[in-house]
Amino acid sequence: MMRQYELVERVRKYNPAADEELLNRAYVYAMRAHGAQKRASGDPYLTHPLEVAGILTDLRLDDATIVAAVLHDTIEDTGSTREEIDQAFGPEIGRLVDGLTKIKKLDLVSKRAEQAENFRKLLLAIADDVRVLLVKLADRLHNMRTLQHVPAEKRARVAEETLDIYAPLAGRMGMQRLRDELEDLAFRHLRPDAHATIDSRLKTLRERNGHLIRTIEKELSDALSARGIQAKVVGREKQPYSIWRKMERKSLAFEQLSDIFGFRLIVGTLDDCYRVLGVVHTKWPMVPGRFKDYISIPKQNDYRSIHTTIVGPGRQRVELQVCTAEMNDIARFGIAAHALYKDGRVTDPETLAHESSAYKWLQQTLAHLAEGDSPEEFLEHTKLELFHDQVFCFTPKGRLIALPRGATPVDFAYAVHTDVGNTAVGAKINGSIAPLLSELQNGDEVEIIRADSQVPPPAWESLVVTGKARAAIRRATRGAVRAQYAGLGRQIVIRAFERAGKQYADESLRAALPRLARASVDDVLAAVGRGEMFSGDVVKAVYPEFREERKIARHQEKAEAGWFGMKSLSSLRFKVPGNGEAADHAIPIRGLRGDLPVRFAPNGGAVPGDRIVGILTPGEGITIYPIQSPALTAFDDQPERWLDVRWDLDGARRELFPAQLVVTAINEPGTLGTVASVIGEQGANIDKLTFVEHSPDFRELVIDLEVFDLKQLNAIISSLKSKNVVNKVERVNG
């Protein structure tokens, strides 16, 4: 176990001005608080917080963070309280310890909804101070190093949580060394056989190629020294988990991997990085397509380096990474290498956001918490951001946009601005028109073509790859659907007021909102449109003295009973207009592409020329039935769902409508061709055809059609009846 003086010395090594008295007090407090507590391994519990603090001293963190690491389990696992910590060590350290206590209570490997909510809480806990995350990552690393001492079931759960959440978070914060170790330890426990196999192959390869690696290191050093460049050449070996993941993703054998071993060339200045590149590309041929300049365009986790692959000594492919010492520190320690913790001080968030893209990403991710997405959507968004490699594209004005690999112009548009994505109708990639769902490549210049009337199609949601785009498309789709329901509700409410002989006004309805338990006029209208609220209740809320008369004149009842073929129409409230009959209170129906949530009777549909009635279905909008549909009897006792509707067709844009026929025809060669020819000659479209065999001589065909109107449908029926092979034709009426 680390001694008290050892902890102080480790901090003083990188921070001579460290508060020795504060560190000593924290050590003694934790030792007394944890007392005789033991870990699963049998070691004193105090060894754990001290090892966590030791990991953070390797990251050269400030005194407050080291003290918080020493104390991080005191509130959760001992009798200590937040107030005691604040009093003994100050509110800054108390706040850090409290944030870590909240994180410890989370279970990130659970049912999806619980996992999603807990993940939100995790990010909220680090919202005020990213040091909470750094302590938590160190805490998780030490727990993973000693995971063999916990029961097998818990071991698998913790390893899965590490691989799913904490390792990607470490990578997103640029802490690659910590991420590599977390992934390796989790992989070791989740897939022990695969880990052992890859580890064994690596050992064999290391022994076989040891001499070659030393030769490459020497030749690289000699070539650079000859040009006056001082460089430290460090060998790099790919981690077992990275090897396994690449083999799985690309279906490769171990022998097919060419980047298991690589070299990092650490030089003094930025200028030297590019001089090194000139030397190695002059001396050895480079492998085409394997050059990446992350100095000119850094990764979003602040990583900066030049990557290239050469055919080096012994005709071996050698991957090189060229960087300065500062870039190397950021590659290893990520956000902890920034000015955030230099000289024992803490940089303010605005300065940190300016210096660190990783911190800026974290702040943007936290901002999504305020956008009202469900926990599941937030988790999906964040995981998408965590797990993807990147491509870099440009706007026509030269702005750099970093996107996950596989991103499309739609993702690009939403990355520029949500309004740009919502109004996107086309794209130009490198000056040429391209589909909106094309896959973008590094260096593409993307121009988005927009139209203000555009609403993103719901299908886009499953085709984009960024969480921001998916969340925005969901919100826009929900907004468009809500607008449709609100539009329908407005028409229903206005007509309800007209029937009551009352004047409708938004101001009057707004004054009645408390009686309707809704926050806004749109909320009321959308609720009526969705069928969640009866329009008569809205009238009564505005005019409490109103009493609705639900009666139908005897002659009208008889006439309508003839149309509907119903047993009882005593509850029917609306007059149904006839074919071409005008009715001021009837809701106009244009078709499936109108601005109202409309669908047609599932069995038989309805076509212009039919007398129609609308049935309001909660959550689905209006279902349009022909007036003669026997299905309408099911709604006899639900008068509040009946709507007065009429056709309102756009003569400039003809639209097809659904209908269904049942054709009984002779079972002989050519019959189907005859039926299809009749339908085609009449200009209609067959959407679906089903055979029902009744006897060897006859077959029944159920045909779903798309026609323009009733006149065309009747012409098809007449033509079919005139054919010798057709015995009977009947239209299905819902």
State how far the Cα of 415 lies from the Cα of 406, in Å rounded to an integer.
14
> What single-letter amino acid sits at 603?
N
Q: Which of 20, 43, 77, 329 is catalytic?
A: 77
Q: Which of 76, 532, 636, 655 is catalytic?
A: 76
User: 631 burial class (0-12, 13-18, 19+ CB within 10 angstroms)?
Assistant: middle
CA 378 to chain centre: 7
H or E element in which residue 317 lies: strand 317-324
Radius of gyration, CA atoms only, the chain: 36
CA 407 to chain centre: 13
Q: Is 76 a catalytic residue?
A: yes
Sign of CA dihedral 226, 228, 232, 238: negative
Residue whose token pair is 């009842």: 557
> What single-letter amino acid sits at 627?
I
Query: In sequence order, which residues have a C-beta less than 8 Å from that of residue 441 and are 6 or more positions away?
Result: 391
**Strand ranges (E), 203-260:** 231-237
Q: How many CB atoms lie within 10 A of CB 378?
A: 22
State how far the Cα of 235 lies from the Cα of 280, in Å rounded to an integer.
16
Q: Are 415 and 466 in contact (CB under 8 A)?
A: yes
Nearest in space to 727 (alpha carbons), one of 667, 660, 663? 663
Alpha helices (H) in 627-693, listed in sequence order: 671-681
Q: Are 355 and 339 in contact (CB under 8 A)?
A: yes
Query: In sequence order, which residues have a C-beta less than 8 Å from that of residue 278 and are 6 or more positions away?
Result: none
Nearest in space to 143 (alpha carbons), one of 130, 125, 157? 157
> Secondary structure of the chain: what % helix, strand, coil (to 5)?
50, 15, 30
Residue whose token pair is 């699963």: 40
Q: Are 623 and 617 in contact (CB under 8 A)?
A: yes
Q: Could you give the residue numbers annotated as active site?
A: 76-77
